[in-house]
Amino acid sequence: MNIIRFENVNALREAIFRSPLEQYVLIRLDDREISLDPLFYNRVVESAAEIDATLTYCWFRERQEDGSLLDHPVNDYQPGSVRDDFDFGPLVLLNAADVLSATEHFTEKESAMLDGGWYALRLRMTIGKMIAMIPEYLYTVERRDYRKSGEKQHDYVDPRNRAYQEEMESVLTNHLSMIGGLWQKKLETVNYDEEDFPVEASVVIPVRNRVRTIMDAVNSALSQTASFPFNVIVVDNDSTDGTREALESVEDPRLKIIKVDKSENLGIGGCWNRALLSEHCGRFAVQLDSDDLYNSNSVLQTIVNKFRSGNYGMVIGSYAMIDFDGNPLPPGVITHSEWTDDNGPNNALRINGFGAPRAFFTPVARRFLFPNVSYGEDYAMALRVCREYGVGRIYRPLYLCRRWDGNSDAALSIEKVNANNNYKDCLRSLELMARVKASFEEATRDRSLPLPPNIFDRDFFNELGIGGGYDEDEDYDDDDEDEEPY
């Protein structure tokens, strides 16, 4: 079996037609030299054949500059693994017939795309099909990218990659439309003045053992100048390094300290919930991490003005990456300018973050609450909010995100990166399935609407060889109604 270097869909189809008739094709996704283990074909090809997998991949090793080998496990594929940077490794086994079937109706642009072509292909091929990940190290490649995890995590918002990102967004939007998961819901209307609150805004700072930085953050929040009353809610999660004592020394009555005991087992999300549900929480709850700073005294006013100017469940600003000496760090300012009001909630399923600082209309945040975790809690909340509410964006920096020297978030192990990505893929899966379900239920309630295209269309799925689906001739019942810590 020859290894085919993926260039674009057209080239892959031609290679399949030219090759001897085989059930599977082995595809290389980058140019690194690959050494297959003796058992590779036995394990990968036989496993794929036994379960009729459309796509099969496995763990691998990377050979470093000194000749040593680094194990590189990869994640299982989930329904929500629709981010374009999902790590299959550089080698995948594809069912040849599925490749031809899935790409038969590709547009000329899709067929000629390079990086986006692989993304479009694997999204299309995996609809309703079996995917196999073999947790065994079955080949070795040379390692080329030696950047730390923190240096790679913002590649998707680097302005130099803008054209690529637009291509990826187009691919995902088409995929969501195909499976009935395309967001196009009318936004809920918010009434900012329906309830009374003790203050207009609260800056929320979860903290644990940040005695070196907590007072910088608190002073940054207390120094805000605004035309409305505000307070600062610090949720101290059982700090033992003097953080709590430093907070207790502050005499400003605007500082509200919520003291959490270790026995409560709270992550960052749980700390946020304590602040949101407290009697001190204002109409708008605004994020500030315990080691970061606002970049001016007008940030709080800017955020509240943005809320008041529109119909938003949350508002998100932009930030600059700096070190503790105030020096800029790459990629510099993070604006998340890939967001658009029309397609942002769809594209949010492809990328790993929404931006900062994040601010919430408190009744909306109280409705959903955060998952009690210390990674991805903000992404979970933002995904849920943008399904039903507008998101206001501020594309100029409001926030200074300080990177610690030796920060664990800047140099995560492969296993930790995988765990983080696996959790966000789970969040995407839940959100995507909820959107598919909501689209179908809306169509069943309103007979003037067509059923969501394709995912419930049996003829379409049969054409792709996928099978299943909703039979439009059947009756349906209208009554049938689901960064680094601190």
* Separation between Cα atoms, residue 392 and residue 384, nearest integer Å: 15
The confidence score (pLDDT) of residue 482 equals: 39
Report the first-to-last Cα separation within the chain, whole angstroms: 50
Number of helices (H), then strands (E), in the chain: 16, 16
Predicted model pTM? 0.88
Q: Is 296:303 a contact under the CB 8 Å cutoff?
A: no
Instruction: State mean pLDDT over 38-61.
Output: 97
Instruction: State mean pLDDT over 291-309.
Output: 97
- 181: Cβ contacts below 8 Å, ≥ 6 apart: 432, 435, 436, 439, 455
Amino acid making up residue 415: E
The confidence score (pLDDT) of residue 171 equals: 94
What the block records as the tokens of 260 is: 């959490």
* Separation between Cα atoms, residue 192 and residue 213, nearest integer Å: 33
Label residue 448 by pLDDT band (50, 70, 90): low
The confidence score (pLDDT) of residue 479 equals: 33
The confidence score (pLDDT) of residue 279 equals: 98
Does the pLDDT at position 153 exceed 80?
A: no
Instruction: State mean pLDDT over 268-273.
Output: 98
The confidence score (pLDDT) of residue 297 equals: 98
- 63: Cβ contacts below 8 Å, ≥ 6 apart: 69, 70, 140, 141, 142, 143
Cα distances (angstroms) measured from residue 163 to each of 122, 166, 217, 352, 425: 20, 5, 36, 18, 24
Label residue 332 by pLDDT band (50, 70, 90): confident
- 99: Cβ contacts below 8 Å, ≥ 6 apart: 12, 13, 16, 25, 121, 125
Sign of CA dihedral 42, 44, 48, 50: positive
Count Cα atoms within 13 angstroms, Cβ side, for 143.
Answer: 17
Does the pLDDT at position 428 exceed 90?
A: yes
Instruction: State mean pLDDT over 20-39.
Output: 93
Instruction: State mean pLDDT over 368-391.
Output: 97
pLDDT tens digits, 83-118: 999 999 999 999 999 999 999 989 888 888 877 799
For 246-311, strand residue ranges (E) read 255-260, 284-287, 293-294
Question: If you search the block for the tokens 């990505």, which residue do you land on?
Answer: 421
The confidence score (pLDDT) of residue 476 equals: 29
Entry field: residues in the chain: 486
> Across-strand partners of 293?
400
The confidence score (pLDDT) of residue 330 equals: 86
Does the pLDDT at position 450 exceed 70?
A: no
Minimum mean pLDDT range among 177-186, 358-367, 435-444: 435-444
pLDDT tens digits, 204-248: 999 999 999 999 999 999 999 999 999 999 999 999 999 999 999
Please list, residue by residue across 105-119, b when 16 or more beta carbons sit within 10 angstroms of its beta carbon and e when fewer do: ebeeebbebeebbbb
The confidence score (pLDDT) of residue 160 equals: 61
Does the pLDDT at position 408 exceed 70?
A: no
Instruction: State mean pLDDT over 273-277.
Output: 98
Share of the chain above pLDDT 90, in %: 75
Higher pLDDT, 329 or 459: 329
The confidence score (pLDDT) of residue 447 equals: 66
**Upstream peptide bond of 331 is cis (omega within 30 degrees of 0):** yes
Label residue 473 by pLDDT band (50, 70, 90): very low
* Mean pLDDT of all residues belonging to the chain: 89
- 274: Cβ contacts below 8 Å, ≥ 6 apart: 235, 258, 260, 266
The confidence score (pLDDT) of residue 462 equals: 44
